[in-house]
Structure 1
Amino acid sequence: MTDYLTLFKDYVIELGEKHDVDPLLLGCLYFISKPSFITSLAWLLKNFRAKKSILIPILFAAVSFSLPYVYLITAGRNIPVWVYVFICLMFIYGGFTIWKKITTKPILAD
């Protein structure tokens, strides 16, 4: 089992060197961004239900969601085009589904 983990670690490091991306930094950004994103969405729903401005929570949610991908786009070199297309489609789909959830969910009084 440790041989497989070593092979995987070497593969990830090799990919990072090939594309000028630090895999440890990318992983940390990814795992830090998810709790921040979920917290921002909870804040957004709270403000939406209270009929307060949702601009700041949306901005925080967007920044926290996109942080690892922005790092990949800005720091990465020789990244295949399909990765950029995938990231773009993920942003579009994510924004659409969040918009649908916010607008179609009944507003419950707390």
Structure 2
Amino acid sequence: MSLSAGYSVNPYVFAGIYVGAIPFFLASVAWIMRNKKRRKSLLLPVLSTGLCMSSAYIYLIIAGEGVPIWVYLLIVGLLGYGLYSTFRKVQTGKKFKDR
């Protein structure tokens, strides 16, 4: 908690955005799956999913001051893995609880 003041990032806001985005993320993935089945455009659902996946990190990037470079590298790694994982689930048509 004491570290957050030095970087101008409120951990409660970060956690709230992170947890609050989960239902929207899952709804966006369901939207992708539905559009994929119906052979409709995936552009908007993919954009929505990406925004939900990265919303807390966007807050950290915008609000953070003097954040070490390794944090940004970690964010890129987490987002990369999240995109890869989501893409695989959408490709196979499996639900997230079927891991």
* Cα distance in 2 between the residues matched to 1:27 and 1:100: 26
- TM-fit CA distance, 1:39: 1.0
1:69 to 54, 57, 60: 57
Q: 2:38 aligned with 1:22, yes or no?
A: no
Q: How does 1:72-83 map to 2 (within 5 A)?
A: 72-83=60-71
Structure 2 Cα separation of the partners of residues 104 and 44 of structure 1: 12
Deviation above 3 Å: which 4+ runs of structure 1?
none
Q: 5+ unaligned residues in a row in structure 2: which ranges?
A: 95-99
5+ residue gaps, structure 1, are 1-11
Q: CA RMSD in A?
A: 1.5
The Cα shift of 1:55 comes to: 0.9
Measure the CA separation in 2 of the matches of 1:78 and 1:88: 17
Which of residues 78, 91, 99 is equivalent to 2:87? 99
TM-score of the aligned structures, taking structure 2 as reference length: 0.84
Query: For residue 88 of structure 1, what is the amino acid of its counterpart?
Result: V
d(CA) in 1 for partners of 2:17 and 2:11? 10
Q: Which amino acid aligns with 1:80?
A: P
Superposition TM-score, scaled by structure 1 size: 0.77
Greater CA radius of gyration, 1 or 2?
1
Aligned length: 94
